[in-house]
Chains A and B, each alone.
Chain A
Amino acid sequence: MKSTIIEAQNLNLTFQTNDGPVHALKDVNLSIDKGDFVSFIGPSGCGKTTFLRVLAALEHPTGGTVTVNGVSPDEARMQRAYGYVFQAAGLYPWRTIARNIKLPLEIMGYSRADQDKRVEAVLKLVDLDGFGGKYPWQLSGGMQQRASIARALAFDADILLMDEPFGALDEIVRDHLNEQLLDLWARTNKTIAFVTHSIPEAVFLSTKIVVMSPRPGRITDVIESPLPKDRSLDIRDTPEFLEIAHRVREGLRAGHAYED
């Protein structure tokens, strides 16, 4: 029943810097199924963001292959196969929330009527009903980030790439947004790749957790989560949750053992 949507084989990416080559990604093998919620976790420099950027064709691998929907990331980008959510909301200050969400729709040439319909729908989806006419500075950080998620959802991308989207928010807001994100994922059936450095966040959200370690950036563990797809924040106190969190922590520690 499951179909592979992202497939990476022997993926390598080396940046040439003044201090010599840096192995951002080394021999990365990973497949992501349609409808998966995959978290990438690891210390900074482990290549988790770089991997996401490779998927989005913002970086290009120096070795190995990667396919998105069966085609190269560049072609997938031209087919507008994914929405990307960055760490900062990055809303245009001169556009209202509604017009910010319209930005990708304008660029992709959706009709006026369709644009309005979609903006209304995604605003409802991220719980920002009635905020369409506000400017970004009139919203809190959490609301701005939700607006940027709405912007990524507005067009029909099957894949949502999220690069530490809640990294700059406080824990209470973050918990709330995590719950909303799960809800949104269940309703839209998108495939989500999510970069984080928070173990509870990764375990709470994911069906698959990819543990990575730095220098060279590589995958040290891939954990298929046994937790049910439908979950609430209370699940964080169950033994299953703690067990997975423990395994993630072990994986992160193992990665660090190579250092020094």
Chain B
Amino acid sequence: MRSLSAVLTVVAVIVSFWYAACIPMNIKGVLTEAERAGAVVVPEGARERRDLGTFGLVMGNQFAIPATWAQERPRLPAPHQVVVELWQTTVMKKITSKRSLVHHAWVTLSATLLGFAIGTGLGVLLAVGIVHSKVMDMSVMPWAIVSQTIPIIALAPMIIVVLYSIGVQGIIPKAVISAYLSFFPVVVGMVKGLRSPDAMQLDLLRTYHASRAQGFWKLRLPASMPYLFASLKIGIAASLVGAIVGELPTGAVAGLGARLLAGSYYGQTVQIWSALFAAAILAGCLVGVLGLIERVMLKRMGMAR
């Protein structure tokens, strides 16, 4: 009960900060509209107001404050505007509609899941190689690290162009970008996990004259499971970011990235924010599902108490 009130307090603080921020962000637009509608605004004329501080404008035109939360195209939409938009584009729209966020979220989600699967598979394979081969450790690991220092926003268009030139398009390029972002946490986590058995455990297997394969399947792999799940949670969030970024440079017509892009073309800030929230909610759900699988699996393995 106490933790619930703490959570609600934090949410309340964020929401009220957001509402407060809407006032200075939107005040100039609101005043312009109000003046056009015949209201008395101080000072008169949009040009006069252009270089004035927003604080003074708000103080001088307090009547306009409620309007900053109800603009059609605000610079910063108010929370309730985003919630209404989310509601109308998900629950109130048919999934088949091009304006349905569920439809767009599914387009992004499918690329995310495919990329996540590729990235996880690749990451695990690389980690196994790195743990078992010193050469791979020294030759692959630096490149894996370097790969993550390049901003994905710079790399994504190139990946798409290169893949397009060899005839690959559709979901695959987005999945490749997803995989590119998600393989790295899996590699790092799995390398750590596969190396987590201590010297004593390895000595014990040696006294049994166990083969390397037996050591892998019976000791290293099960020991790495908690590490794997921690990595997967980071990986799937990165996958979603990858899929969205992959939708931006192509001018994609569907997907959360496409909604962001279209929103910014047409100044539809409410649409941008609702797409952002849809992405955040989606990521939260994906991480939550992974957490659930982790709980069930570790419990079945006897590792959760």
Give chain B residues whose Cβ lies under 8 Å from the Cβ of A126.
none
Query: Are A82's CB and B207's CB within 8 A?
Result: yes
Query: Number of A residues contacting the other chain (C-beta, 8 Å)?
Result: 25
Could you give, for residues 217-240 of chain B, a 1 whenever the CB lies within 8 Å of some chain A CB and a 0 otherwise?
Answer: 011001101000000000000000
Closest chain A CB from B213 CB (angstroms): 10
* B207 partner residues in chain A, CB cutoff 8 A: 56, 58, 77, 82-84
Measured CB to CB, the nearest residue on chain B to A94 is: B301
Min CB distance B220 to A, Å, is 11
Contacts of B206 in A (CB 8 A): 57-58, 77
User: In the docked arrangement, what's the CA distance between A58 and B203, Å?
Assistant: 7
Asked if A228 is at the interface (CB within 8 A of a chain B CB), the reply is no
Residue numbers in B under 8 Å from A53 (CB-CB): 203
Given the interface pairs A84-B203, A94-B301, A94-B302, the reply to whether A78 lies near B209 with Cβ below 8 Å is yes
Q: How far is the CA of A53 from the CA of B206 in the complex (A)?
A: 11
Asked if B214 is at the interface (CB within 8 A of a chain A CB), the reply is yes
> A88–B208 contact, CB under 8 A?
no
Main secondary structure of the interface of B (DSSP, over half): helix
Judged by a CB distance under 8 angstroms, whether A113 is at the interface is no
Task: Check if A104 is an interface residue, CB within 8 A of chain B.
Answer: yes
| Contact between chains at A96 and B302 (CB < 8 Å) | yes
- Contact assessment for A90 and B302 in the assembled complex, using a CB-CB cutoff below 8 Å: no
Interface string of A90-110 (1 = CB under 8 A from B): 101111100000011011100
| Least distance between B108 CB and chain A CB atoms (Å) | 36
Q: Separation in Å of the A147 CB from the closest CB of chain B?
A: 13
Query: Known: A80-B209, A96-B302. Is A106-B218 also a contact (CB below 8 A)?
Result: yes
A15 in the interface (beta carbon within 8 A)? no
**Contact A86 B218, CB 8 Å, known A80-B209, A135-B302:** no
A93 touching B204 in the complex, CB below 8 Å, given contacts A77-B209, A103-B218, A107-B210 = no
Q: Is the CB of A92 within 8 A of B209?
A: no
CB of B46 within 8 A of chain A? no
CA distance A37 to B302 in the complex (A): 37
Cα(A60)–Cα(B17), bound, Å: 68
What is the interface of chain B, defined by CB distance below 8 A to chain A? 200-201, 203-210, 214, 218-219, 222-223, 225, 301-303, 305
List 16 other contacts, CB 8 Å, given A90-B204, A104-B208. A58-B207, A77-B206, A77-B207, A77-B209, A86-B204, A88-B200, A92-B219, A93-B302, A93-B303, A94-B222, A94-B301, A95-B302, A106-B218, A107-B205, A107-B214, A108-B209
